[in-house]
Amino acid sequence: MAQVTAALVKQLREMTDSPMMECKKALVEADGDIDKAVDILRTMGIAKAVKRAGRDTNEGTIATYVSEDQKLGAILELTCETDFVGTNPKFCGFALELAKVVAENDPADVEALKACAMGESTVEAELTEMIHVIGENMKIARFQRVTAADGALGSYVHLGGKLADIVTFKLGKPETAEADEFKTFAHDVAMQVAAAAPVAARRDDVPADVIEHELSIYKAQAAESGKPEAIQEKMAQGRLEKYFKESVLTEQEFVKDGSVTIG
């Protein structure tokens, strides 16, 4: 039997907002497998949903860059030691410049990015200088370059750079990207993605194994009711439908106006 540590219990609690003792029981039953423990808590109705991991940075900021023609962009995470530095305008501006370098040079990894030119110097030299000036260690944690040859990009940064995303849009007419209405729409959709963390753009894009897994949880929950199988099936399908409305971008309620959906 795997050892259930206090750290593992704490991690499960943070993921599910479930009571500490219930988290421990679920981990014991799951033999220390945190994913199975999550399913156990969900089946019991204790955990309504799982917080999506990977949103928060360490201390630092996430910057996005989108070119003027909205065809090229990048998102980059720059970490530091303290929150004070993480909100420093010079630090945040440096992160934005790094994102621009990523977009324009398409480096394969962090080491390749460090070798890229930045002004009259290199990224590595500028990073070293920034560490010296600010007085804290900082690291380029990760980045992603994005292109939209047949469309346009929209971006959103929230919570002082703790949460950000870039969304790619396919457009029938290239001139659509120049319209102010589209730019507002692109910003709003990117904000929706940041706020609601959809798993897919459309229902058909949700992987079959994800749907199967969710449905198995809902069927297990319905079985706990003791109702006839036909009713249980309707309950499970109803919960799956709710999952789609909460997790698929085009079916989510718009965060700025709950009376309409993104689609």
The number of distinct structural domains making up the chain is 3
174 and 216 co-located in one domain: no
Which pLDDT belongs to residue 132?
87
**CB-based contacts of 263: which residues, under 8 Å, 6+ apart?**
249, 250, 251
The β-bridge partners of 157 are 164
- DSSP labels, 228-244: -HHHHHHHHHHHHHHHH
Q: Where are the alpha helices (DSSP H) in the chain?
A: 6-16, 20-29, 34-43, 83-86, 89-105, 110-114, 123-134, 180-196, 208-223, 229-247
Domain finish residue from 130, 165, 190:
190
43 and 67 both lie in a single domain: no
For the segment 72-98, the average pLDDT, to the nearest whole number, is 95
Does one domain contain both 180 and 76? yes
pLDDT attached to residue 1: 60
Q: Are both 183 and 95 inside the same structural domain?
A: yes
Question: Do the beta carbons of residue 66 and residue 148 sit within 8 Å?
Answer: no
Q: Which residues pair with 158 in a beta bridge?
A: 163
Domain boundary, last residue among 190, 222, 239: 190
Structure tokens at 30: 């799951």
Residue 150 per-residue DSSP state: T
Residue 210's domain is classified under what CATH number?
1.10.286.20
Place of tokens 């988290």: 23
- Position 142 scores a pLDDT of 97
End of a domain among 160, 190, 220?
Answer: 190
**164 with 221, same domain?**
no
Residues 130 and 74 in one domain: yes
Q: Which residues pair with 143 in a beta bridge?
A: 76
- If asked whether residues 144 and 204 sit together in one domain, one would say no
Identify whether the C-beta of residue 23 lies closer than 8 Å to the C-beta of residue 42: no
Confidence of residue 50 (pLDDT cuts 50, 70, 90): low
pLDDT of 57 > 60? The answer is: no
**pLDDT beyond 80 at 55:** no
| pLDDT attached to residue 17 | 84
Same domain, 183 and 67: yes
Per the prediction, the chain carries an average pLDDT of: 91
Instruction: Inform me whether the pLDDT recorded for 252 exceeds 90.
Output: yes
The answer to whether residues 78 and 145 belong to one domain is yes
Per the structure, the complete domain to which residue 5 belongs is given by 1-51
**Burial per residue of 238-255, b for 16 or more beta-carbon CB atoms within 10 angstroms, e otherwise:** ebbeebbeebbbebbebe
Counted residue by residue, the chain has a size of 263
| pLDDT the model gives residue 159 | 77
Same domain, yes or no: 251 and 137: no
Same domain, 66 and 181: yes
Query: How many CB atoms are closer than 10 A to CB 38?
Result: 22
pLDDT tens for 193-244 read: 999 999 999 999 999 999 999 999 999 999 999 999 999 999 999 999 999 9
- Identify which of 118, 122, 125, 129 has the alpha carbon closest to the alpha carbon of residue 90: 129
Q: Domain holding 113: CATH number?
A: 3.30.479.20
Mean of pLDDT values over 16-20: 87
Q: Are residues 213 and 183 in the same domain?
A: no
